[in-house]
């Protein structure tokens, strides 16, 4: 067990925060932790040592203090005023993946899609290849019903472990999550610490070939080497978001240091030290133009958090 440093303990006690065994940082910059590389700081950034540490911290934390989970920061705009309360970031202790049997993986909430899909391949489990194409962690996949290339988390999830805002650890079946397109009914402030994904038996070589196909498709069609946030808008019923954005004449549209990608118009990119205000305002301008020109209401898929 590693004790908190005296300085950390003094800061935490000064604001009546619990003292965890993990790392607690005040006014932690979040821009380096998110793909857009923009935005303000977390009032507190908590990196728990393990699940028990997270439980104890949340149980002792004033219920009025907001709590938010942060994964790889790939589908998020952190506003320039920063995020009040506590941002929880799951580290290596939560990034383990292991096969339970011939078709099921037990995955930590901090594990990446690449690790999950690669472990599935090695275990001869097919059906999880699409996770390789989603730049995030298991916790984010579960919360947002992540999906791509014909697959969605609701189709492979069996159960997940969450630490509720109260600190209680609960195991929830997929039926309890109320999944719809890119949405779940996980309780506010709950942190996904583990999940079980079920596939079907497959041949590792065939699984790898499918993952190679997905990787090549993403590389060809998406601005993966830019400072971006992934898919910006949900696909409206009967439409593809990028087609609506393109039809509104928004390809390459800029605002401040932000731009609508010319390669894939459902991606916003930071081309010149854009602020999060630039990025969000550009997204709103795109929504306005699509609504005005086509009568289609685009909904944000990217999470927008914090204070303007």
Active site residue 301: yes
pLDDT of the residue at 86: 97
Residues for the chain: how many in total?
308
Q: Do domains 6-92 and 94-220 have the same CATH topology?
A: no
> Fold for domain 223-305?
3.90.78
Catalytically annotated residue among 231, 261, 280, 289: 231
pLDDT of the residue at 15: 56
Domain 94-220 has CATH 3.40.50.300: no
Domain 6-92 has CATH 3.40.50.2300: no
Catalytically annotated residue among 182, 244, 287, 289: 182
Domains in the chain: boundaries: 6-92, 94-220, 223-305
Tens-digit pLDDT profile for the chain (308 aa)? 344 444 444 445 445 789 999 999 999 999 999 999 999 999 999 999 999 999 999 999 999 999 999 999 999 999 999 999 999 999 999 999 999 999 999 999 999 999 999 999 999 999 999 999 888 999 999 999 999 888 999 999 999 999 999 999 999 999 999 999 989 999 988 999 999 999 999 999 999 999 999 999 988 889 988 999 989 999 999 899 999 999 999 999 999 999 999 999 999 999 999 999 999 999 999 999 999 999 999 999 999 999 99
CB burial string 126-137: b at 16+ within 10 A, e below: bbbbbbbbbbbb
Longest Cα–Cα distance in the chain: 60
Active site residue 118: no
pLDDT of the residue at 13: 45
For 23, 52, 181, 193, the CA distances from 162, given in Å and listed in that order, are 20, 12, 21, 6
Active site residue 143: no
- Smallest CA-to-CA distance from 85 within 46, 49, 113, 112 is with 46
- Cα separation, 68 vs 140, whole angstroms: 11
- Cα separation, 68 vs 190, whole angstroms: 8
Please return the burial class of 59, using the count of CB atoms within 10 Å of its CB with bins 0-12, 13-18 and 19+.
middle
């Amino acid at each position: 067990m590693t004790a908190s440093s005296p300085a950390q303990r003094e800061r935490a006690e000064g604001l009546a925060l619990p003292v965890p065994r993990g790392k607690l940082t005040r006014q932690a910059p979040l821009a380096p932790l998110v793909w857009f590389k923009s935005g303000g700081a977390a009032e507190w950034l908590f990196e728990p040592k393990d699940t028990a540490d997270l439980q104890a911290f949340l149980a002792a934390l004033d219920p009025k203090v907001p709590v938010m989970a942060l994964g790889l920061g790939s589908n998020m705009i952190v506003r320039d005023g920063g995020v009040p309360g506590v941002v929880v970031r799951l580290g290596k202790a939560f990034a383990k993946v292991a096969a339970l049997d011939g078709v099921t993986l037990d995955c930590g909430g901090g594990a990446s899609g690449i690790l999950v899909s690669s472990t599935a391949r090695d275990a001869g489990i097919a059906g999880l290849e699409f996770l390789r194409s989603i730049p995030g962690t298991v916790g984010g996949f579960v919360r947002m019903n992540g999906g791509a290339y014909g697959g969605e988390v609701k189709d492979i999830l069996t159960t997940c472990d969450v630490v509720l805002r109260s600190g209680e650890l609960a195991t929830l079946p997929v039926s309890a999550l109320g999944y719809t397109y890119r949405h779940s009914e996980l309780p506010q402030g709950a942190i996904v610490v583990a999940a079980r994904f079920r596939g079907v038996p497959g041949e590792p070589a065939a699984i790898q070939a499918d993952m190679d196909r997905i990787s090549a498709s993403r590389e060809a069609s998406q601005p993966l080497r830019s400072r971006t946030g992934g898919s910006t808008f949900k696909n409206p019923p009967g439409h593809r978001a990028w087609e609506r954005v393109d039809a509104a004449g928004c390809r390459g549209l800029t605002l401040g240091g932000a731009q609508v990608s010319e390669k894939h118009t459902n991606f916003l990119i930071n081309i010149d030290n854009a602020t999060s205000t630039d990025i969000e305002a550009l997204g709103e301008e795109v929504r306005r133009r699509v609504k005005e020109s086509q009568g289609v209401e685009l909904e944000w898929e990217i999470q927008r958090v914090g204070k303007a």
